Amino acid sequence: MDLTIENILLIGSLLLFISVLAGKTSYKFGVPTLILFLAIGILAGTEGIGGINFESSNLAQFIGIIALNFILFSGGLDTSWKSIKPVVWQGVSLSTLGVLLTALGVGLFVWAITDFTIFEGLLLGAIVSSTDAAAVFSILRSKNLALKSNLRPTLELESGSNDPMAYFLTIAFLGLVVNQDRSLWNIIPLFLQQIIIGAALGLLFGKLSKFIINKIKLDFEGLYPVLAITLMFIIFSATDFVGGNGFLAVYLSGVLLGNANLIHKKTIMRMFDGLAWLMQIVLFLTLGLLVNPSEIIPVLGIGMLISAFLILIARPLGVFISLSFFKMKMRRRWYISWVGLRGAVPIVFATYPLIAGIDKADIIFNIVFFVSLSSVLVQGTTLSIVAKWLHVGLPSKVKPESPVDKFLADGAKSLMREITIPPDNESIGKKIVNLDFPRGAIIAMIMRNGKFITPNGTTIIAANDVLVVLFENISTIEEAYQQLQLPIIEEELN
């Protein structure tokens, strides 16, 4: 069956519907949701019962890039700076040095056991070098797995920030395969350009996006998520246009916005949470349609060797060396090594050799597909078991909420206070979003002229307003009073 304008919406909606139902029941059987999405795509493909003919690597790559933008931006929005601050350098080391060492290890192994050239081996190693943000985010959150000592922030920071490094290595080694007269040292200036420009523009665009979202006046609340999506694509494309790493810029801008005071922030975060799930489903369905199972069978043997080497040797070596600069218990290092999930991102990167038309592109794609599949099956299904073996998990009764859950929960705050704004206060005339209120405080209602109003980020503070504020703890109350430049009443702290 060929995809046409007439049937693509029907087929696509049916596949999405089946995927949502499969995701609802998957963990009852211990199967990662993403594997089911992939399996549905395969079954619907040319060699499956659906018989859908989909062979466009260019379209698959385009869908992959769009999906990764949503997944990385949503992951950035959901990243609490407070939680990652203690482990930020560990995450940076894992996402740069760890990815590089993993790519080199796998590349040399492939070169040694196959007829691949050294650059072809390094290209394959680069493609499978990063952990997959979609796989890590979805599996950790679906399993509601709580981990000790900042392990979860470390894992989510690594998976959210290491795709740019893998993307750079893939493009660099692909260039060396196509132009074999170039030297390995030629990629160093390209690396510095990609990382420096990507990081700088990510932070710059993040601050600019915050200013635009808070200052622009839109008539409908539903337009704010649309504005955020528009800004996300501008950040990626503009950064890529000037030679920076667009994926890094998108993730960093997401982190900055997720930790800033934004108008209609709850609406934006809810929208991106849903869109990230949609993009994960679409991405895995697309890649499932693209692959032909019959072409995987000839590479099963070499695929198992590479997968085993990656999981048991290359990934642990990369983790242990990149974390050797930090104090951390051995069992925690082993667990970080085990949560090296490969997923859709390596398969998306494997489409670059296909489009470039290099000799071993088909073999590389099929090997990468098998490695990703086996990684999610083996590692994704055993995260809870390995956490228990290594004693790095927390009992269910003390599991912490994710940052997005805490933000979206209606009853997340435990203290309530009424704060009266005097006529001479400097906050008068300011929008709530510009008050720089502590993250652990929410202005739930405002009593004005004897009437209660429900505020939002655009509500302007007036003289004699009585703010009904929900707080997480006593220290947050102190911060709020300081921000409003009001004297702290001792009774308010009891």
Of 180-189, 385-394, 418-427, the range with the highest mean pLDDT is 418-427
Q: Please give the share of the chain, as a percent, with pLDDT higher than 70.
A: 87
Once rounded to an integer, what is the mean pLDDT over residues 13-30? 67
What confidence category does residue 107 fall into, taking pLDDT thresholds of 50, 70 and 90?
Answer: very high
The answer for residues whose C-beta is within 8 angstroms of residue 364's C-beta and 6 or more apart is 120, 123, 124, 127, 350, 353
Question: Is 253 a residue whose pLDDT tops 90?
Answer: yes
What confidence category does residue 2 fall into, taking pLDDT thresholds of 50, 70 and 90?
Answer: low
Question: Is 215 a residue whose pLDDT tops 60?
Answer: yes
Question: Is 148 a residue whose pLDDT tops 90?
Answer: no
For the stretch 473-484, pLDDT in tens is 777 888 888 888
Once rounded to an integer, what is the mean pLDDT over residues 247-263? 89
> In this predicted structure, what is the pLDDT of residue 283?
83
> In this predicted structure, what is the pLDDT of residue 409?
46
Q: Which of 87-101, 347-361, 437-451 has the lowest mean pLDDT?
A: 437-451
What CATH number has the domain spanning 8-398? 1.20.1530.20
User: Using CA atoms, how far apart are residues 467 and 427, in angstroms rounded to an integer?
Assistant: 12
Question: 411-493: what CATH class?
Answer: alpha beta
Domain ranges of the chain: 8-398, 411-493
The answer for residues whose C-beta is within 8 angstroms of residue 266's C-beta and 6 or more apart is 407, 408
Which of helix, strand or coil describes residue 431? strand
The answer for residues whose C-beta is within 8 angstroms of residue 137's C-beta and 6 or more apart is 71, 75, 78, 156, 159, 160, 276
HEC profile for 346-396? HHHHCHHHHHHCCCCHHHHHHHHHHHHHHHHHHCCCCHHHHHHHCCCECCH
What confidence category does residue 189 fall into, taking pLDDT thresholds of 50, 70 and 90?
Answer: confident
> In this predicted structure, what is the pLDDT of residue 205?
95
3-state helix, strand, coil in the chain (%, to 5): 65, 5, 30
Q: Largest alpha-carbon pair distance within the chain?
A: 81
The answer for residues whose C-beta is within 8 angstroms of residue 243's C-beta and 6 or more apart is 193, 194, 197
Question: Is 348 a residue whose pLDDT tops 70?
Answer: yes
The answer for residues whose C-beta is within 8 angstroms of residue 192's C-beta and 6 or more apart is none
Q: What is the mean pLDDT of the chain?
A: 83
